[in-house]
Amino acid sequence: MPDRLYLEQFGNVHALPVLHYRMEFAHLVREAFDRVKPDCVALELPQTLEEQFLRGIRRLPELSVLAYHVAAQSVFLLIEPADPLIEGARLALERKVPLHLVDIDLDSYPSHPDHLPDSYSVQRIGLEPFYREVAKLYRDIPPCEEDLRRERGMAYRLKQLSAQHERVLFICGMSHLERIRHSFDAPLAQPLTRTRREGITILNLHPECLHEVLAEYPFLSAVYETRRTALGPEPPANGHSLRKSFNAFELILGGKESIPEEEALAESVQRSAHRIGEEGEFPDRQKIMLRLFLEAARHYRQETGDKVHFWQKRAFFRFARNYALMTRMLLPDLFQMLAAARGCLDDNFAYAFFRLAARYHWQRETSDLPTIRLSADELWSSTKRIRFRPRERVRAKGFSHLKMMNRKKEKRPGDWLEGFDDPYICSYPPEDLSIEEYGRNLKRIGARQLSEEGSKSEPFTSSLLDGVDMRETLRNLHEGKIYVKENKRLKSGVGCVVVIFDEDKEGSRYPYCMTWLGEHAQESDMAFYATPPTDNIVGPGISRCEYGGFLLSYPPRRIVDVWHDPDYRHATGKGELLLLAALDYSLEKDVVYAAAKPPRSFMKQHAARLNKRIIYLPLGSLSPVALKKLRAFHILYGRDKRDIARDYIW
C-alpha cells in the first residue's frame, strides 16, 4: 500500500492538506500527530469561535452544533468526529498540545460549489498524488477577495506561531494551502479582522436529525469513533435480536422484561468496528459499507425471516457502484445506498438499512445544552427525495423527505404485553383475503397443469380443436401437415391446497402448530405450522409469525385438530402430515401440493387408495415475490386488536 500521509513543509510548519468532513482525512490527522509530534496545532477556524468550539470538542463523542448569526442568516458549524479539524482539536486537548485557531472572522463569505475527487481515492493512491491533482484544479480558479484575506491572515498567524514553537502542525483545506505557503515567505502586515463576536451558542443535536445533517452518515461516524480508542471484546454474532421476544411464562404472568432496540444496534456498530481491520489500521470506507449491509441483512432476517441471498448482495453493490460512478464518485453516499437497498431487495430491507445507517448511540435527546433539530434544507444546497412507504415521512441528510415505515414502539419495556390478556386468538382479515386468493390461484394453476399433461396433438382434418400446436407442426414440418392440440378437460375440481415452505425435519424452527376454522362461508379451514408467536411481538396483543407450511380446506367448519390426529402418526414430517390431512378432507379428487421436493411414492400410492390424486407444483415455479408476501402473517389476541392492527403491521 502507498504511504498515505503527505505533509507540506515551509519553515517549521508541517501543513496537512485536507477535505473537510471526510473520515479518511480525520484519520490522516492522527497519523500526522504520530509522525510530527507537534508542540503546537493550528486549525483553519476563526479565533472568535474558540470558547464555544472547545466546549463542543470536550462534549465528544456527543455531537454539537455551533451556531451564530451573520446579518439575517444563521451559520452552523457541526462538531462531528469524522472531520479532520475536529480530530485535530481533540488530539490537541487529549495530548495537552497548545491549540490555536488561526483563520480570520468574516461577516460574508461566498459559496464555492467545489467538484472534488472522491476522498476514498486517498485509501488507494495516498494523499500526495491526490493533493497534487486537486491543487491543479484550484490553480485554474481565480481566488475571490475573501479567500485572499483569509489566506494572508492565516499565513501571518502561522509566522507568529513558528517563531514561538519548534514544530507546528497546520490542518488546512486543500483550496487554501498553496497560496498560504507562498504568502508565508512574503512580508505580511497584521490583518484587520473581527476580534470578538456576540451571540455564539453551542447546542445539542437531536438524534433524529443526525442522518439528515451530518456530512458522514452516522453509522460511519460511529464506527470511526469506536476505533479511536482501544477496542473491547467483540460482541457475539448471535447477540441481541431486534425481535421483541418474550417467553410464554412472561406472556401469562405479565412480565416486563425486554431487550431495547438500541442495544442490538449498538452491538452492530461495535462488531463492525472490529471486523473492518486491525486496531489502528486505516479505516476502509468500502469495508464499512460492506459491514453496514451485512448487519442490516442480519436485522432484516431477524424481523422478517427472509434471508438476503448472494445474488441480491451482488446486485446491491453493483447498482450502488454504478449509481456513484454516474455522479463521478467512487463509492455511493447514503441516498444512493438506500436507493440500491430498496430497488435490489425491498422496502423492509431499505428500512433496516436506514435504521442502522442512522445509528449513533452516543447521542441523546436531552443534555446539559439546549437541543436543536436541523433539516437538510438549512445546511445543504440541494436535496433529493426517496420513498419507502407512502404513509409516513421522515427527513434524511441529502434528501428533503424520506418516506419510510414509522413503526410504533413500546412506550416502556413490556408495555405491549398488556394486550395479551384475551384468551382468544384470531387472524388479520387483509391477510386472510390474500391467502384465500392465492389458494384459488394455485387451484387454477393445478387444473391447467393437469389439462396440459392430458393434452394430445393430431394432424388437422376438419376441426382446429383447441388451436394450432406450433411446436408439433414445426417438429413434423417434413410431413407438410398442420398439427392441432386438444386439451383434456378436468372432470373433477381441485379440493385442498398444501404449500410447504420449509419441511422443518428437526422440528425446532417452526414449533407452533395450529388448526383454524373459517369464520364464514367464504373462508377456508386452515392448518399450519409456524414460528412461535412469542418470538416477535410487534404490538399490544399482536404477534408476527412466519409460515413453515399450511393447508387450506374448503368448505369450512369441517376440519379437526390434525396435529393430534392418530391417523397421521406415521407421517415423516409436518409437511407430509398436512398432505395426509388434505387427502382426507378434500371433497374433490385432486389436491394441489406446492413444495421444494415432490411427495414420496408412498404418498402417491396412499392417494390412489383413497381415489385421490396429488398435483405437485415445484415451489421454484411459483412467484418468489408472492410467496414472500404470503409467508409472514399475524396473530391477534382478541378481535378488538383488529381495530388497531394496521398501525403495527408492516
Concatenate the DSSP letters of all residues of 374-425 into one string.
--HHHH-S---EEES-SS--EEETTEEEEE-------SSTTGGGGGG--S--
Residue 218's pLDDT band (cuts 50, 70, 90)? very high
Residue 235 lies in a domain: no
pLDDT digit string, tens, across residues 329-346: 999 999 999 999 998 988
CA distances in angstroms from 377 to 64, 219, 545, 593, listed in the order given: 18, 22, 41, 55
Helix (H, G, I), strand (E, B) or coil at 202: strand
pLDDT digit string, tens, across residues 301-317: 887 777 898 999 999 99
Cα–Cα dist 494/522, whole Å: 16
Sign of CA pseudo-dihedral 267, 272, 278, 282? negative
**Is the pLDDT assigned to residue 207 strictly greater than 60?**
yes
Residues 190 and 325 in one domain: no
What does the block give as the cell for 78? 457541526
Residues 65 and 139 in one domain: yes
Residue 37 lies in a domain: yes
What does the block give as the cell for 516? 383454524
Residues 268 and 121 in one domain: no
Cα–Cα dist 198/519, whole Å: 71
Residue 395 lies in a domain: no
How many domains, in total, are found in the chain? 3
What does the block give as the cell for 431? 391477510
Rounded to the nearest angstrom, the gap between the alpha carbon of residue 640 and the centroid of all alpha carbons in its chain is 33
Query: Scanning the structure block, which residue is given the C-alpha cell 407444483?
Result: 617
Helix (H, G, I), strand (E, B) or coil at 531: coil
Residues 334 and 435 in one domain: no
Residue 167 lies in a domain: yes
Helix (H) or strand (E) holding 15: strand 13-18
Residues 359 and 445 in one domain: no
Q: Give the Cα-Cα-Cα angle 478, 484, 488 (nearest 5 degrees).
A: 140
What does the block give as the cell for 131? 493533493
**Is the pLDDT assigned to residue 551 strictly greater than 70?**
yes
Beta bridge partners of residue 486, listed in sequence order: 456
**What is the DSSP track for 125-161?**
H-HHHHHHHHHHHHHTSPPPHHHHHHHHHHHHHHHHH
Which of 175, 190, 205 is a domain's end point? 205
**What's 270-281 look like in SS3?**
HHHHHHCCCCCC
Which of 378, 413, 442 is a domain's end point? 378
**Is the pLDDT assigned to residue 543 strictly greater than 60?**
yes
CB 360 within 8 A of CB 226: no
Q: What is the mean pLDDT of residues 78-99?
A: 93
Residue 595 is predicted with a pLDDT of 93
Residues 95 and 21 in one domain: yes
Q: List, in sequence order, the alpha helices (H) in 254-402.
A: 261-275, 285-304, 310-326, 334-344, 347-357, 376-379
Residues 300 and 165 in one domain: no
pLDDT digit string, tens, across residues 512-531: 999 999 888 889 999 999 99
Contacts of 149 (CB under 8 A, 6+ apart): 104, 106, 191
Residue 411 lies in a domain: no
**Residue 578 lies in domain:** 425-453+492-646
CB 371 within 8 A of CB 210: no
Residues 91 and 172 in one domain: yes
Beta bridge partners of residue 617, listed in sequence order: 594
**Is the pLDDT assigned to residue 254 strictly greater than 50?**
no
Rounded to the nearest angstrom, the gap between the alpha carbon of residue 448 and the centroid of all alpha carbons in its chain is 41
Check residues 88 and 649 and name the one with the higher pLDDT.
Answer: 88
Cα–Cα dist 578/49, whole Å: 73
Residues 321 and 193 in one domain: no
Residue 111's pLDDT band (cuts 50, 70, 90)? low
**Is the pLDDT assigned to residue 462 strictly greater than 90?**
no
What does the block give as the cell for 445? 394453476
Residue 386's pLDDT band (cuts 50, 70, 90)? low
What does the block give as the cell for 148? 485572499
What does the block give as the cell for 223? 464506527
Average pLDDT of every residue of the chain: 84
Q: By C-alpha distance, which of 423, 487, 315, 430 is closest to 640?
A: 423
Residues 325 and 448 in one domain: no
Residue 198 lies in a domain: yes
Residue 592 is predicted with a pLDDT of 94
**Is the pLDDT assigned to residue 347 strictly greater than 70?**
yes
Residue 127 lies in a domain: yes
Helix (H, G, I), strand (E, B) or coil at 214: coil
Sign of CA pseudo-dihedral 149, 153, 159, 162? negative
> Which residue type is seen at 380?
W
CB 296 within 8 A of CB 341: yes
Which of 378, 407, 433 is a domain's end point? 378
Q: Give the Cα-Cα-Cα angle 199, 205, 208 (nearest 5 degrees).
A: 150
Q: By C-alpha distance, which of 200, 219, 201 is closest to 273?
A: 219
pLDDT digit string, tens, across residues 575-599: 999 999 999 999 999 999 999 999 9
